[in-house]
Amino acid sequence: MGGTADITALFLAGAGTGLLAGGTTCAAVQLGLLAGAVRDGGGPRPAAAFLAGKLAAHTALGAFLGLAGAALQPGPRVRGALLIGAALVLLLFALDLLGFAPARRLVRRGRAADTCAAPPAKDFAGLGAEARAGGVPGRCGERGDGERSARAEQPVKGGWGWRAWGLGAATVLVPCGLTLSVELLAVSSGSALGGAVVLGAFVLGTVPFFLLAGLAAGRVLDVLRGRAAALPAAVLAVAAGWTLLSGLRLGGWLPDGGSAPASASARFVRVDASGTQVVTVWALDRGYRPALVTARAGVPTVLVLRTRETRGHTRAFTIPARGTDVILPVTGETRVALGTPGRGRMRFVCASGHFPGAITFR
């Protein structure tokens, strides 16, 4: 693709997808990072910096995907590891809000210069009397008598820009299912410009939702600061736990769960005229039906994924052990050849790690 009409179509497709569904669909994955970006307040500026980082990273990714295709897309286990890393970052922010000293030092390292600059050399001449009174500035943010200055106790409004920008850029590492479908469109564009346009437009479409969400989160955190820090910290901790669980699911690292009895799976498993075992799973907006299936091992098997007006995360279907990602149509049927599975459990999950399931072969 390269003509003006093609580029315009890609822009409209990306922007329309982002505006209509991108914000709400990606919120569960990325709002924790947004909360970390706006936690120091500062009005709309941290949210704008977050969105600028997100736009820059996604536009660059789109250009790479347009040039090199799907080979640049990380597999399910890589994305699972990135989600686990994001969960640890969210937990760090939660501990910082609670005043946990090691976490606060990690989060605020490099910002000491913003809190206490040394006085100009010409001012030292008149400090004799103050020094005798114990008021000469000592270490950063402290008076000579060891008492911390009021300035050191105030939250720092500067220095948030790069952190907010970096957290916005980090959203490219934890895509929601809808982002993956737009990335597939970038791959199919076949050009750096087309890929950059469609992913950049997708992010622009999500701007209204994320900007409003960022302003609301920043206001809440600012109001609660120092009075009920446990509440936003608890919210971030829950988001960290959910993100960690999603990463473990996406990587296929959770312990095996239960399995469905063969009788319950009978209506979803059949053998066609060629002797191929056909397992049917419906991808619904809120999960897969059935989520647990029991089938025969040692038989050539095809997984049939069906959708009907499905627009949620489940459209991005993943089999972690195989490194398989499939983007399903809104309505239709998609066949995935599974070969001849041996005895064992084949897990599947949506590409954001939220909705798991498994086929048990016996």
Rounded Cα distance between 294 and 61, Å, is 39
Query: Torsions phi, psi of 301, nearest 5?
Result: -130, 140
Q: What is the C-alpha to C-alpha distance for residues 63 and 66, in angstroms, rounded to an integer?
A: 5
Q: How much is the pTM? A: 0.67
In which region does residue 309 sit, left (phi positive, over 0), alpha (psi from -120 to 50) or beta (all else)?
Answer: left
| Residue 241 identity (one-letter amino acid) | G
Residue 334 bridge partners (DSSP): 305
On whether the CB atoms of residues 214 and 49 are closer than 8 A, the answer is: no
Look at residue 152 in the predicted model and tell me its pLDDT: 40
Angular region, 141: left φ>0, alpha ψ -120 to 50, beta rest? left
CATH assignment, 262-361? 2.60.40.420
Alpha carbon distance 81, 87 (integer Å): 10
Strand-pair category, 287-289 with 344-350: unpaired
Which SS3 state, helix, strand or coil, does residue 153 take? helix
Give the separation between CA 195 and CA 175, rounded to whole angstroms: 16
Three-state secondary-structure class, residue 72: helix
Residue 100 burial (10 A CB sphere; 0-12, 13-18, 19+):
middle
- Assigned token pair, 50: 């977050």
Contacts for 33 with CB less than 8 Å, ≥ 6 apart: 50, 86, 89, 90, 167, 168, 170, 171, 174
The Cα–Cα gap between 93 and 354 comes to 22
Ranges under pLDDT 70 in the chain: 1-5, 21-23, 25, 28, 40-43, 70-73, 107-160, 177, 221-229, 232, 256-257, 262
Alpha-carbon span 79 to 87, nearest angstrom: 12
Number of C-beta neighbours around residue 293 at 10 A: 24
pLDDT at 160: 63
Nearest to 351 by CA among 320, 322, 330, 329: 320
Q: Could you give the residue range(s) of every CATH 2.60.40.420 domain in the chain?
A: 262-361
Burial class of residue 258 (count of CB atoms within 10 Å of its CB; 0-12, 13-18, 19+): exposed
Task: Quickly list H helices, the chain.
Answer: 4-17, 23-37, 44-68, 76-97, 101-108, 112-115, 128-132, 150-153, 160-170, 177-189, 192-224, 230-251, 262-265
